[in-house]
A and B are shown apart, each in its own frame.
Chain A
Amino acid sequence: MARSRRRRLPRGGNDFQWCFSQVKGAVDEDVAEADIISTVEFNYSGDLLATGDKGGRVVIFQREQENKSRPHSRGEYNVYSTFQSHEPEFDYLKSLEIEEKINKIRWLPQQNAAHFLLSTNDKTIKLWKISERDKRAEGYNLKDEDGRLRDPFRITALRVPILKPMDLMVEASPRRIFANAHTYHINSISVNSDHETYLSADDLRINLWHLEITDRSFNIVDIKPANMEELTEVITAAEFHPHQCNVFVYSSSKGTIRLCDMRSSALCDRHSKFFEEPEDPSSRSFFSEIISSISDVKFSHSGRYMMTRDYLSVKVWDLNMENRPVETHQVHEYLRSKLCSLYENDCIFDKFECCWNGSDSAIMTGSYNNFFRMFDRNTRRDVTLEASRENSKPRASLKPRKVCTGGKRKKDEISVDSLDFNKKILHTAWHPMENIIAVAATNNLYIFQDKIN
């Protein structure tokens, strides 16, 4: 029976039927700290999916081409390349260790056969080139096939080496190392739409780099007070506008976002726009400031909106409206009455990320107990899903989860006090064009796909 292939268009969040596709990582109960995933990022085409971990390693998965002979493999992601990006270092001046944990990975748009990505730890950004090699040369004159040098006097004739196919080898090599420009911990990197420059942000400063130049960077934001005693606010995230190469935003620990235009001055200490929602006085507590701290900021693909994640909610802002967000989505409001405990066990400092789907119609962010949340901006519906091994049968649909906030707990609901706060989903990513999501749960990477109708 002939069936026309319908082009899959991204749809609203709750029309999806998310199904388990794959899970990567060890099953052990005892998780090695080095294996904890610290960043997840699809490349521009979605064919490559990169993860970074606390041990400084980068693992890149590649999507298999859909294959008629194996229809069920339906674009599975398999390991493409693994390499050690960063090593632990020691700062002798301050007697402090510099962690090798990969804080962020950002892909560069593809310009030739090779792939490039930026990976960063707290102090150093590296540009990696990932390239394939599927041919090798045979018939060298000066050395044998096994590499031993030949005695030059024995060579009586010259031959031209020939190229022969070999098993595909994927090589990763560091092409640039951007070091020594950040006193404080790098929290963000963002590639500019000009594809030539990128920014890196730490707690107090943002620097602009040219991808070709490693020994210099331009400082474009500096919020360090002359007197460190007066420090009350730090930079938490920064991103370039997806289309306007002179515009970027940065968020702060006080819940504000500043939009800057690099054309206005070299040092963007004065913002062009200032986004802040006035505080609701009825919900003020000792923790108001901590929970207002923004952990992630992401522009929509269209460039018209941006999204911020604070401890309890996700907010969507229209770039033309500075005084309040256009949408606020509660991620886990039931935690508001638990803030004291969450402060005590440090969970209140957890930094959750958020992401848009390809058409900007849905947004996703993580929570505790390996739950993650999706919000459909059109239908205003939301759903809670869980990344767990129990729900990991091939192509099994994910069942929506519900947290019981009080009163009688219904069957299949989980009470707030039973949530596992060690199982946190901080990093999620959405394929740029299709309905495929990658969810990092501690040391495991879950991939879910929308069921094809």
Chain B
Amino acid sequence: MTRSKPKYKGDAESSSDEVRERSVAELKEEGIMVGGLKRKHSDLEEEEEKDGKWDWSPAGLRNYQQALLRISLDKVQQRSLGPRAPSLLRHVLIHNTLQQLQASIHMSTAPALPPEPLFLGEEDFSLSATIGSILRELETSMDETESPQNQVAPTGLQNEVLPQPDPVFLEALSSRYLGDSGLDDFFLDIDTSAVEKEPALAPLDPPHSLFCAPGSWEWNELDHIMEIILGS
């Protein structure tokens, strides 16, 4: 499903890269905090400043949630670009924020659309595909719904039980972080000792204390990945 509204002023379908670069370029140029979202965000900021607290009209809140969703989606897509390992701290903070957004969106729209889990047997572990489709579904469900009957009270967020974290979202995130490069890795936990011709070296004594042996974590992760592939 495609987004019908232009994301940023004067830009019909900008890629996340362009949007990000424009924001940064504008920032640098003007040396002030004006991103590409100025038109939408100055409205949002004014609203935010006016009240300072969470006492908004449903429409205002929905716009705000939509903007935050789009920003978060950009960030998640950004992360999969670039040669450097992503920051786990940033990933966890964005993910937790997205969860809160999902929770409040589910509260404000009825009924909540459970996202279709993607079949992970396909080779595409790309983050953008899974997150993008889930969040686009949420956005369109928000667009289509009438303004909600109930006044959304975000202060109730902390009292509500958050819905289960979206499994596909999280699995994709965790597998991407682990840096899986393909299906080759999945065969590593299969015992090939009968096949290998190399002479067996004398096994090292198991450590008596807790050593941090490099590589040991990977074996747990591969089991986990196998479960996802086969079990979901």
Q: Which residue of B lies closest to A291 (CB)?
A: B93
Contact call B53/A97, Cβ cutoff below 8 A: no
Interface string of A329-369 (1 = CB under 8 A from B): 00000001110111111110100000000000000000000
Say whether B88 contacts A218, CB under 8 Å.
no
Measured CB to CB, the closest approach of chain A to B131, in angstroms, equals: 14
Q: For window 36-86 of chain B, which residues contact chain A by CB distance below 8 Å?
A: 37, 41, 44-45, 48-49, 52-54, 64, 67-68, 71, 75, 83-85
**A233 contacts which chain B residues (CB < 8 A)?**
92
Is residue B181 within 8 Å, beta carbon to beta carbon, of the partner chain? yes
Segment among B109-117, B133-141, B163-171 that sits at the interface with chain A: B163-171
A284 touches B157 (CB 8 A): yes
Closest to A290 in B: B93
B27 surroundings in chain A (CB, below 8 A): 345, 421-422
Interface status of A181 (Cβ within 8 A of chain B) = yes
**Contact call B33/A349, Cβ cutoff below 8 A:** no
Q: Does A417 contact B (CB under 8 A)?
A: yes
**Number of A-B pairs whose CB atoms are under 8 Å?**
153
**Is there contact, CB below 8 Å, between B45 and A337?**
yes
Q: With an 8 A cutoff between CB atoms, is B190 at the interface? A: no
For A99, the closest partner residue in chain B by CB is B84
| Interface residue A232 (Cβ < 8 Å from any Cβ of B) | yes
Docked complex Cα distance between A152 and B228 (Å): 72
Residues in B with CB closer than 8 Å to A94 are 85, 179, 181
* Complexed CA–CA distance, A217 and B75 (Å): 35
B212 lies within 8 A of A219 (CB): yes
- For B90, the chain A residues whose CB sits under 8 A away are 349
**Does A419 lie within 8 Å of B88, measured CB to CB?**
no
Question: Given known contacts A218-B211, A228-B221, is B85 in contact with A340 (CB within 8 Å)?
Answer: no
Whether, in the assembled complex, B125 has its beta carbon less than 8 Å from a beta carbon of chain A, the answer is no
A342-B33 in contact (CB<8A): yes
> With a CB–CB cut-off of 8 A, which chain B residues contact A207?
212
Do the beta carbons of A234 and B89 come within 8 Å of each other?
yes
Q: Which residue of A is nearest B65, CB measured?
A: A286
Q: Closest approach, in angstroms, between the C-beta of A288 and any C-beta of chain B? A: 9
Chain A residues with Cβ under 8 A from B71's Cβ? 340, 343-344
- A344 with B41, Cβ < 8 A, contacts A203-B89, A234-B88 known: yes
Known: A267-B210, A286-B101, A289-B96. A229 touches B165 (CB 8 A): yes
5 tightest A-B contacts by CB? Answer: A94-B179, A228-B174, A229-B170, A180-B214, A203-B88
Q: Which of B154-193 contact A (CB under 8 A)?
A: 154-155, 157-158, 165, 167, 170-171, 174, 177-179, 181
Specify which chain B residues have a CB less than 8 angstroms from the CB of A342 in the assembled complex: 33
- The CA-CA distance from A338 to B214 in the complex, in Å, is 43
Q: Which of B24, B68, B97, B224 contacts A228 (CB 8 A)?
A: B224
Chain A interfacial residues counted at CB < 8 A: 65
- Which chain A residue shows the least CB distance to B50? A337
Q: Which of chain A's residues has its CB closest to B179's CB?
A: A94
A-B contact pairs, 15 of them (CB 8 A): A91-B85, A95-B179, A96-B179, A98-B84, A98-B85, A217-B211, A220-B210, A224-B217, A229-B167, A229-B170, A266-B209, A289-B96, A289-B97, A338-B33, A341-B45
CA distance A226 to B54 in the complex (A): 37
Complex Cα gap A357–B23 (Å) = 38
Restricting to A247-296, which residues have a CB under 8 Å from any CB of B?
253, 266-267, 279, 281-287, 289-290, 293
How near does chain A come to B152, taking the closest CB pair, in angstroms? 13
Contact residues in B for A338 (Cβ distance below 8 Å): 33, 45
Kindly report which residue of chain A lies nearest to residue B90, judged by CB atoms.
Answer: A349
Chain B: minimal CB distance from A411 (Å): 20
Inter-chain contacts of A419 with B (CB < 8 A): 32-33
Q: Whole-angstrom distance between the alpha carbons of A111 and B62 in the complex?
A: 63
- Beta-carbon contact of B85 and A122 below 8 Å: yes
* Residues B48 and A345 in contact, CB atoms below 8 Å apart: no
A420 in the interface (beta carbon within 8 A): yes
CB nearest neighbor in B for A226: B220
Q: Is B203 engaged at the interface, CB distance under 8 Å to the other chain?
A: no
B218 CB → nearest A CB, Å = 9
Report chain B residues within 8 Å CB of A97.
83-85
CA distance A338 to B48 in the complex (A): 8
- Please name all residues of chain B whose beta carbon is closer than 8 Å to the beta carbon of A417 when the two chains form the complex: 32-33
Q: Collect the chain B residues with CB atoms within 8 Å of residue A421's CB.
A: 27, 32-33
CB distance from B26 to the nearest CB of A (A): 10
Query: Which residues from A are CB-within-8-Å of B33?
Result: 338, 341-342, 345, 347, 417, 419, 421
Of B28, B85, B101, most buried by chain A (CB within 10 Å of CB) is B85
B23 to chain A, nearest CB (A): 6
Q: Which of A184, A228, A266 has the most CB of B within 10 A?
A: A228
For residue A231, CB closer than 8 A to chain B, the reply is yes
A267 vs B209: C-alpha distance in the bound complex, in angstroms? 10
Q: What residues on A are CB-neighbors of B23 within 8 Å?
A: 344-345
Q: Are A218 and B155 in contact (CB under 8 A)?
A: no
Q: Which residues of B lie under 8 Å from residue A287 when comparing CB positions?
A: 97
B171 near A340 (CB under 8 angstroms)?
Answer: no
Note all chain A residues with C-beta closer than 8 A to B67: 340
Provide the bound-state CA to CA distance between A205 and B217, in Å. 12
A98: chain B residues within 8 A (beta carbon): 84-85
Q: Are A286 and B155 in contact (CB under 8 A)?
A: no
* Chain B hits for A293, CB < 8 A: 89, 93
Bound form: Cα–Cα A417–B212 in Å: 48
Cα distance A417–B41 in the bound complex, in angstroms: 13
| Besides A218-B212, A345-B27, 19 other A-B contacts (C-beta < 8 A) | A91-B85, A95-B179, A183-B217, A185-B85, A216-B212, A219-B210, A227-B224, A228-B174, A232-B92, A253-B89, A286-B68, A289-B93, A337-B49, A338-B33, A340-B41, A340-B44, A342-B33, A345-B24, A417-B33
Residues of chain B lying within 8 A (CB to CB) of residue A184 = 88
The chain B residue with its CB closest to the CB of A207 is B212
Chain A residues with CB under 8 A of B178: 228
Given contacts A234-B92, A267-B210, contact A284 B154 (CB under 8 A): yes
Q: How far is the CB of B66 from chain A (nearest CB, A)?
A: 12
- CB-contact partner of A229 in B37, B96, B157, B171, under 8 A: B171
Contact B97 A420 (CB under 8 A): no
A99, A285, A336 pick with most chain B CB within 10 angstroms: A285
